[in-house]
Amino acid sequence: MTWSTSFNPSGGAAIVGLGMTEMTREYKYSANGLAALAIRDAIADAGLTKDDVDGLLVNHGVMGSLRPDLQKTVGIENLRLQTLMNGQGSTAGQMVQYASLAVQSGLANVVVCVFADDPLRGGGAGAAYGGAGRTTSGMASLNQYYGHFGANTGYALAARRHMALYGTTQDQLGAVAVSTRKWAQLNPIAMQRGDMTLEDYHGSRWIVEPFHLLDCTLVSNGAVAVVVTSRERAQELKQPPAYIVGMGQGHPGNPRHAGAEYEVNTGAVQAGETAYEMAGVGPKDIGVRELYDCYTYTTVVTLEDYGFVPKGEGGPFVEDGKLGPGGSHPTNTGGGELSGYYMWGMTPLSEAVIQTRGQGGERQVEDNDHVLVSTQGGILDMHASLILSADPTAGTGGHA
């Protein structure tokens, strides 16, 4: 048992509201404005008003645009819980976890968790995510000299390590891009819905080998907010509750030293085991996987680390398209970050809420009893997991 025997939070709270702005490549609103719109829509989706909100957890993106006092932007006074959180891409999962604990303990009753970012301001995404424009000195300036820029490079080097150790191939990475695009084609709000074949994948330009352009997420401006409340309150509200039945985190603290293999064994192992145990389920019970897929490789390694396939066998596992529509392992059913929209951990979380509620339209997965959410940050450095269920009897918290 990895949590308290006197207080098991499994199933005691639920996500009851989801608000998403339009995802754009153009600059229309600041991150502050985007956050306000997503919060407004999430509250309305839940059937609540802003007077009901007494907790606000805020996560800014790469631009660092949001402040802890975001509440002023939406005119919410007298919050009982508020902070700016930063576990990078894992923050979405973390926010929901802390919100779940807060509403179950009485620290707050209705907690909004929001992410917003506006990296696209006329330049390319490389300007925001590459870091080449930053002036550095000392040891850090060595990285500039070596041309080690940005998240693309960090993940490409992790992917290469996996390919070298386990024989993972370029075709297998491409299979992830293709299956994820097929889901995006069923999602009206996905940003990239054109046809993609494995040939298209191989034909897309190199960014940093082993990554082609189509191995990488498409950065977007936008915001997503969710509303978390107790299971009792959730049952009185407008939407089918997405009960939070499993939670876990794993932060390896990669020392970048001999012996560490965290590029191919991520914090998802520990985060996932904790969440499975809390939910009382295992990989076989998961019908829908919503995994942080900033790159194709992330999907491969994350599937391994959650136990869907043994370590090192993720490449062959994905190659036959089983992650796509109609496949045995539906994964990133909204098009993920690769083809859908890049809202850090809010990408997998938002689609997980939609799937748990059964509101996925033509992309809805039938077996949605347990939906896994994987949020991940840094270069595979931070990890937070959720397992959501529409079933009020799911989980091990003894609430049913």
Partner 1 sequence: MTRPAPTSDDASAPFFEGAARGALMLQQCRKCSRYFFPVQEVCTNCLEADLEWAEASGDASLHTFGVMHYLYHPGFAQELPYNVAIVELAEGPRMSARVDADNDSLEVGMALKAAFEQVEDIAVPVFQPA
Applying CB under 8 A, does 149 fall inside the site for partner 1?
yes
Find residue 87's DSSP bridge partners.
89
> Coil, strand, or helix at residue 187?
coil
Options 166, 292, 295, 297, the catalytic residue: 292
Which among 309, 388, 305 is positioned nearest to 350, based on CA atoms?
388
Asked if 292 is an active-site residue, the reply is yes
Q: Looking at 34-42, 202-210, 277-285, 387-395, which segment touches partner 1 (CB under 8 A)?
A: 202-210
Which of 51, 69, 199, 209 forms a contact with partner 1 (CB under 8 A)? 209
Applying CB under 8 A, does 56 fall inside the site for partner 1?
no
Applying CB under 8 A, does 229 fall inside the site for partner 1?
no
Applying CB under 8 A, does 143 fall inside the site for partner 1?
yes
Q: Looking at 1-9, 193-201, 206-214, 312-320, which segment touches partner 1 (CB under 8 A)?
A: 206-214
Query: Left if phi > 0, otherwise alpha if psi is -120 to 50, otherwise beta: which for 59?
Result: beta
Total residues at interface with partner 1 (CB under 8 A): 40
- C-alpha to C-alpha distances, 199 to 116, 196, 291, nearest whole angstrom: 34, 8, 24
The radius of gyration of the chain from alpha carbons, rounded to an integer in Å, stands at 20
Q: Looking at 61-69, 98-106, 201-209, 237-245, which segment touches partner 1 (CB under 8 A)?
A: 201-209
**Looking at beta carbons only, is 164 or 400 nearer to partner 1?**
164
Q: DSSP assignment, residue 86?
A: -
Which of 16, 34, 46, 207 forms a contact with partner 1 (CB under 8 A)? 207
Distant-in-sequence, close-in-space partners of 223: CB < 8 Å, separation ≥ 6: 19, 20, 21, 31, 34, 35, 37, 38, 114, 115, 116, 117, 343
Q: Looking at 49-57, 66-74, 125-133, 297-305, which segment touches partner 1 (CB under 8 A)?
A: 125-133
Find residue 117's DSSP bridge partners.
222
* Cα separation of the two ends of the chain: 20
**Looking at beta carbons only, is 209 or 367 nearer to partner 1?**
209
Neighbours of 260 (CB within 10 A): 12
Applying CB under 8 A, does 379 fall inside the site for partner 1?
no
Closest separation between CB of residue 295 and partner 1, Å?
12
Site string for partner 1, 154-193 (x = CB under 8 A): --xxx-xx--xx----------------------------
Q: Looking at 252-260, 298-306, 366-374, 382-390, which segment touches partner 1 (CB under 8 A)?
A: 252-260
- Strand pairing class (55-60; 110-117): parallel
- Edge-to-edge strands of the sheet including 371-377? 81-84, 55-60, 110-117, 222-230, 13-20, 242-250, 382-389, 371-377, 288-291
Applying CB under 8 A, does 251 fall inside the site for partner 1?
no
327, with CB counted inside 10 A (0-12, 13-18, 19+), is middle
Which of 41, 45, 118, 263 forms a contact with partner 1 (CB under 8 A)? 263
Which of 12, 210, 330, 340 forms a contact with partner 1 (CB under 8 A)? 210
> Coil, strand, or helix at residue 396?
coil
Q: Give catalytic residue positions.
A: 292, 342
> Could you list the residues that contact partner 1 (CB under 8 A)?
126, 130-132, 137-150, 152-153, 156-158, 160-161, 164-165, 205-211, 255-259, 263
